[in-house]
Amino acid sequence: MKIINAKVYTEAGIFEEKDVYTDGELIAEKSGDDQVLDAKGCYLIPGLTDIHFHGCVGHDFCDGTHESIEAMAVYEASQGVTTIVPATMTLGRDTLKKICEAAGSYKSEKGAILCGINMEGPFIAMERKGAQNGDFVHKPDAEMFRELNKASGGIVKLLAIAPEVEGAKECIEELKDEVVLSVAHTMADYEQAKEAFEHGVHHVTHLYNAMAGLSHRKPGVVGAAADDEHVEAEMICDGVHIHPATVRQTFKMFGDDRIIMISDSMEATGMPDGDYALGGQKVIKKGHLATLEDGTIAGSATNLMDCVRVVVQKMNIPLESLILTYQQISTTALRITIAAKDTSAPVLTDIRRITIFNSSSVESLTLNNTTISTRTVLDDLMYTQSQESHCLTIRQQNPIIKLWSLCEIHSFSSNGGARTSVWVQWNEVDVSYEVPTS
């Protein structure tokens, strides 16, 4: 395929209008067929990497099953997230071991590529547990970590730790060369955080959340992390967890090369409002807000691509800055290597890692003549499962505004669940496309 007129993110960190060629699933020097796709008005960017999320579409990583991981991976890929590092919760040792075993034996055959585990808990401070289950908070224990990491096949990439709690210093010293350590769910002050950073911790879990805020006399974890050029910090930029002004100021403090955008999404993401669960606790979702029954924010209900939209459109952070945070920083921070064949466009790997980014809205989505959604962003139609062929129709709110020029639709057949991908150009007010079975 030849993709023309797209604004392509380049190695120089800027967008240039240029043509891109694909041959099968890989970027190539020339097209592998005669197809031409006009992507004028759209951005061609690498797929997103989410290193911290718990679940989506009614599934949770802590379900500890291949079925849940696959459902999450398929949904994330449909939203432009092509590499995932799902997070555990603060749970019992046996439960965590089951989760690790499931992840370790999982094969990424559909959707986003699972390339590791983010172990968020149980080595946290009770006072800052947030939506974590306090019944399972455990003092930092290097041998417990090693047992769980062994069960996973050695794929735990990130370990959360409150550096001020009993046993934390010893644990940091033992594990600093085995896994990326992250300050998280902590009561640590500036001095305690600074000491942790000086002794091998180089990461902060969801900056500002589950820790003391930045104060002019008590700068806390935020101030210590900003001071240390070797520390990267995650931020949940869903418009709920952190004020837009704080996001802008944090980018100025840390720079593009030390911020990692995450979703911290839980199983209600991609689902209607209602009651869900996180770490065995009831969660109530209303819009983009997910809370425990006592009002504590319980993760987010927003996927990472929607976080990108929020940050670009409502917080005025350049898209170029965000691509750097998730494409380069998120993978290097966790020592993740994503293999790809040689290509003439090194900033892009393969077709699964390409996302067309646009914010055009739709009035309605129809599947087999039945309205399935009236939500207002086009990418909501990208995750569609059916046991037979189906016809998907969209109605545009404004016929003058062109919709996304590129969509990937996945069709699941009744006799095996194999995936078919088709590229569709939306140019008219109403567009229907018959999606074949695999």
Residues with catalytic annotation?
A: 264
Strands 81-84 and 48-50: parallel
Which residue do the tokens 């590499």 mark?
83
| SS3 (DSSP) at 57 | coil
Residue among 83, 107, 88 at smallest CA distance from 99 = 88
CA dihedral 86, 91, 94, 98 (to 10 degrees): -20
In Å, what is the CA distance from 180 to each residue of 117, 157, 160, 199? 11, 6, 9, 12
Continuous segment of H or E residues that includes residue 410:
strand 408-412
| SS3 (DSSP) at 194 | helix
Continuous segment of H or E residues that includes residue 197:
helix 190-198
Query: Positive or negative CA dihedral for 353, 160, 206, 333?
Result: negative
Q: Determine the Cα–Cα distance for residues 304 and 268; give it in Å rounded to an integer.
A: 14
Q: Determine the Cα–Cα distance for residues 194 and 24; give it in Å rounded to an integer.
A: 49
Instruction: List the structure tokens of 131.
Output: 């939506």
Q: Determine the Cα–Cα distance for residues 390 and 384; give it in Å rounded to an integer.
A: 10
DSSP label of 219: -
Instruction: List the structure tokens of 61.
Output: 């990583």
Q: Determine the Cα–Cα distance for residues 134 and 162; give it in Å rounded to an integer.
A: 14
Residue among 131, 121, 191, 199 at smallest CA distance from 162 = 121
Q: Determine the Cα–Cα distance for residues 175 and 148; give it in Å rounded to an integer.
A: 13
For 74-101, letters b (16+ CB in 10 Å) and e give bbbbbbbbbbbbbbbbbbeeebbbbbbb
Do residues 140 and 182 make contact, with C-beta atoms less than 8 angstroms apart? no
In Å, what is the CA distance from 417 to each residue of 107, 114, 355? 15, 19, 23
CA 80 to chain centre: 9
- The amino acid sitting at 431 is V
